[in-house]
Structure 1
Amino acid sequence: MFLLSSQVVWKEMELVEEKESSGSVEVSTLEDLGPQEEPVTFNPLLRAALTGNTEGVQQIFDDPEDPDREKATELLMEKDIVGRDLLYATCMAGKSDVIRTLAKYGVDLKDKTARGYTLLHCAAAWGQLETLKTLVELDADIFATTFRGEKARDIAYRYEQTECVEFLDWAEAKQNLRLLIVQIQATITDPEKVQGRLNKEDKSITHKACQAKTDWLENTKEPTMQDFLDQKQQLEDIMLPIFTKLATPRDADV
């Protein structure tokens, strides 16, 4: 079992999921309190992570003379009874540089606890805006939901973390534009879906539209959420007649 060197850290972490239980007494007491009832063990990687010591974290993984190097991955991956690992405590503490460093060593930023909480949910609950930005940059799943069907954005809203809500709305709008581009490109290159329904001009229009939006994503400085929404609507408008062709039943094809 993964046990932290500071019981305060897990006590606070447990409050996140305790809040999400809506006060139900049916939530497992063992899951919520188990880690506090166990003897605390020393984890050198945790100490470095919670103090923001990125050099110390790297040394444990990379220095062949460090006595903890062989078990570094084990220290990182070990979980408590509800599925929380060292990264959850790091997110709660807002140690973004450490998270970025740990991401180099094979951690799964999309991992979930037993009740479906992700690192994004944790950072959102505790109002760690910079940590949210780091996780999104590292491709954490902003659409992941808990056992209650709530995204990180919903958790931030519940606990009145206004800046986190605004950022996650922005990030979701950006991701939705990206996903639309990917969806269009995948559809237009699928011979089974196209089935000769599109001519060369249709394909050219599609390619140019997707490329234009991709370039916009890569080059636009400080876009707003509304900018993403507008770009997505423009792309949908361009693609509407083309997707109408693709939606035509085969027996009606000319």
Structure 2
Amino acid sequence: PQGAYQHMEFPPLLWYSYSGRLDLVDRALKEGEDVNKKNIFGWTALMLAAQEGQLDTLKHLIEVGADLNAMNLNRPKLRGLTSGFEDPEDFDYLEYVETTALMLAAENGHLDCVD
């Protein structure tokens, strides 16, 4: 992965899924890679395939048992906007929003991956 993803730790299976390299995904799985392995931020191969619209890779990961309900924890959002701001401790403005592969596919316009 490039750009924003360069700083994230990606096990090989996640790289292959992100890139749509079904041949390498299949080889990694046959060599014993865990289909649900996560990086340090909780991303799985299924999430990356869905986000990038890698439909064939996505289907294959599902067929071999990828967890459709796995969630990551790296989507910061603002929270506490109605807390009144009276005490700085009341305003914790970063909260991590969990996302699934399905949510990532839809958010990135890969509706063919959502069907």
State the TM-score, normalized to the length of structure 2.
Answer: 0.72
Deviations 1:65-95, CA, capped at 9 Å, x for gaps: xxxxxxxxxxxxxxxxx43111222112211
Give the aligned CA root-mean-square deviation in angstroms. 1.6
The aligned amino acid for 1:156 is A
The aligned amino acid for 2:26 is R
The aligned amino acid for 2:22 is S
- How far off its partner does 1:13 sit? 6.6
What residue ranges of structure 1 are gaps of 5+ in the alignment? 1-9, 15-31, 34-81, 167-254
Deviations 1:161-215, CA, capped at 9 Å, x for gaps: 010111xxxxxxxxxxxxxxxxxxxxxxxxxxxxxxxxxxxxxxxxxxxxxxxxx
Cross-structure match for 1:160: 109
Structure 1: 4+ residue segments shifted above 2 A? none
Deviations 1:136-175, CA, capped at 9 Å, x for gaps: 1111111101112211000001101010111xxxxxxxxx
* Aligned length in residues: 92
Deviations 1:215-254, CA, capped at 9 Å, x for gaps: xxxxxxxxxxxxxxxxxxxxxxxxxxxxxxxxxxxxxxxx
Cross-structure match for 1:124: 50
The aligned amino acid for 2:105 is A
In terms of Rg, which structure is larger?
Answer: 1
SS at match of 1:149: strand
The aligned amino acid for 2:2 is K
Partner Cα separation in structure 2 for residue 120 and residue 144 of structure 1: 9
The aligned amino acid for 1:111 is K
Taking only the aligned residue pairs, the percentage that are identical comes to 29
Q: Do the aligned residues in 2 keep the contact of 1:13 with 1:89 (CA within 8 Å)?
A: no
Partner Cα separation in structure 2 for residue 106 and residue 95 of structure 1: 17
**Structure 1 pair 123–98 and aligned structure 2 pair: CA distance change class (3 A):** same
Superposed counterparts of 1:1-254, under 5 Å: 10-12=1-3, 14=5, 33=7, 82-147=8-73, 148-166=97-115
The aligned amino acid for 2:113 is C
State the TM-score, normalized to the length of structure 1.
Answer: 0.34
The aligned amino acid for 2:35 is L
Q: Do the aligned residues in 2 keep the contact of 1:13 with 1:92 (CA within 8 Å)?
A: no
SS at match of 2:10: coil
Partner Cα separation in structure 2 for residue 85 and residue 13 of structure 1: 16
Higher strand fraction (1 or 2): 2
Higher helix fraction (1 or 2): 1
- How far off its partner does 1:98 sit? 2.1
- How far off its partner does 1:135 sit? 0.3
Structure number with greater CO (CA < 8 Å, separation at least 6) is 2
Q: Do the aligned residues in 2 keep the contact of 1:143 with 1:151 (CA within 8 Å)?
A: yes
